[in-house]
Amino acid sequence: NDSILKYWPDYLEKAIDLQVRVTAAVDGFDNQVAETSFSVTTYKWRVLVLYMIGSATPGGWSNDKVTAMSASTTETGVFTYNGVLTDGEFRFTTTVGQFWPGYVADPGDASKMVYYEEAPSSENDKSWPVTEGNYTITVNLETNTIEIIQNSAIQNLYIVGDINCWNASSPIKMDRTGEGTYSYEGVLSGEFKFLSVANGDWFPCYVKAENDDNRMVYRTEQNQNEVPDFKWNVSTARYRVNVNTNDLSISIEKAGEVEAWLMGEAIPDGWNWDALPKMVSAGNGVFLWTGTLSRGQIKFPLEFDRSFGGVMAFAKFDNTSVPPVNPDDDKVSVYKGGPDNKWYINNPGSYTIRLDLNAKTVTFTQQ
């Protein structure tokens, strides 16, 4: 392996075809020659797991309570940590229960790391100091470099997703309940994540941890290649969401089922909130209504919001025909603040309407 990389360094971690010739020379006899061909793949020894240790980490200097870093799925040797650190210092170890092998700060350049199999001398055993805060730490073991970003304290938090048509300029503002804590109670549907600004920018944001619905990851423009854009996904219902940006925790609890009404010119006094017909819940996100519809537009409010700014069930396109004429005419989109797309009743008469918020469909059956 070392010889191949010495003479053919371009074949690092690649297959190379080789041929070996063995010649046996004996005085008085013809030389005997044997050849064989084979393929080998070179390798490079790498650290596959990495942990943080130190007074700034949750486990302190206990080497059995080290903090695991997340390995990049796209870049070899890149590890990331997103979370809270306290006043103190940290460095890295490769093994739970041991201090070494590990990485320390380069005494001459804190943006670089030095690897030691065993404990170095005291003058070389340098850690990285930090103050209390929320951090994104990215290390690259291929280049032995480290990037430490202290994430700015945010003043607001917003929900962006299917519920607001992924409009980053008009996300849903959460209530600030404390330093770094936020809550929201209302209707949610489909995928969503969190923004810390409402100016159209997608960074910085908080996304779902890969295998934990109750943990968030801080995603920035700098670490977007290492942090996947995972989102939460919920069925249509009322939810109570509590977010703590200090420890990157989140809880999402159902706060009740939604209600549904009819609205539009297809019903008498159809824009008057006090006159709206209420649909009957059949369970599992299904709502039913039977009655007379006139020619005209119709949609389905899911929140009783007299400002007309609440969550509603809309058609995919405005003036979608009833009866349907296109494949997506029965499809439903649930959101607020987006296109005011309604269905259009072409044939007045008696109808039974079935609105299914889980399947995201609606059927109009004329009697």
DSSP 4: H
Q: Which residue has the higher pLDDT, 174 or 8?
A: 174
Give yes or no for residue 361 having a pLDDT over 90: yes
Confidence of residue 259 (pLDDT cuts 50, 70, 90): very high
46 lies in some domain = no
201 lies in some domain = yes
Q: What is the mean pLDDT of residues 170-176?
A: 95
267 lies in some domain = no
Q: What is the mean pLDDT of residues 219-223?
A: 78
Q: What is the mean pLDDT of the chain?
A: 92
Q: What is the mean pLDDT of residues 265-277?
A: 96
- In the numeric block, which tokens belong to residue 310? 């609440």
Q: Looking at the structure, do residues 105 and 187 belong to the same domain, yes or no? A: no
Q: What is the mean pLDDT of residues 168-177?
A: 95
Q: Looking at the structure, do residues 173 and 252 belong to the same domain, yes or no? A: yes
H or E stretch including 7?
helix 2-7
Give yes or no for residue 11 having a pLDDT over 70: yes
Residue 47's pLDDT is 86
Q: What is the CATH classification number for the domain harbouring 74?
A: 2.60.40.3610
Return the beta strands (E) in 198-348 as ranges: 205-209, 212-219, 232-244, 249-256, 280-283, 286-293, 296-298, 300-301, 312-315, 320-322, 332-335, 343-345
- Spatial CA neighbour of 336 closest among 98, 160, 119: 160
Distance CA 277, CA 270 (A): 9
113 lies in some domain = yes
Q: Specify the number of domains making up the chain.
A: 4
Residue with tokens 């969550």: 311
Q: Looking at the structure, do residues 136 and 170 belong to the same domain, yes or no? A: no
Lowest mean pLDDT among 105-109, 150-154, 309-313: 150-154
Q: Residue 9 is part of which domain span?
A: 2-41
From 100, 133, 150, the end of a domain falls on 150
Confidence of residue 45 (pLDDT cuts 50, 70, 90): low
Confidence of residue 247 (pLDDT cuts 50, 70, 90): confident
Q: Looking at the structure, do residues 171 and 125 belong to the same domain, yes or no? A: no
263 lies in some domain = no
Confidence of residue 207 (pLDDT cuts 50, 70, 90): very high
Q: Looking at the structure, do residues 306 and 326 belong to the same domain, yes or no? A: yes
332 lies in some domain = yes
DSSP string, 129-170: EE-SEEEEEEEETTTTEEEEEEPPPPS--EEEEGGGTT-TTS
From 256, 281, 315, the end of a domain falls on 256
304 lies in some domain = yes
265 lies in some domain = no
pLDDT tens readout for residues 99-141: 999 999 999 999 999 999 999 999 999 999 998 778 889 999 9
From 203, 225, 256, the end of a domain falls on 256
Q: Looking at the structure, do residues 35 and 75 belong to the same domain, yes or no? A: no
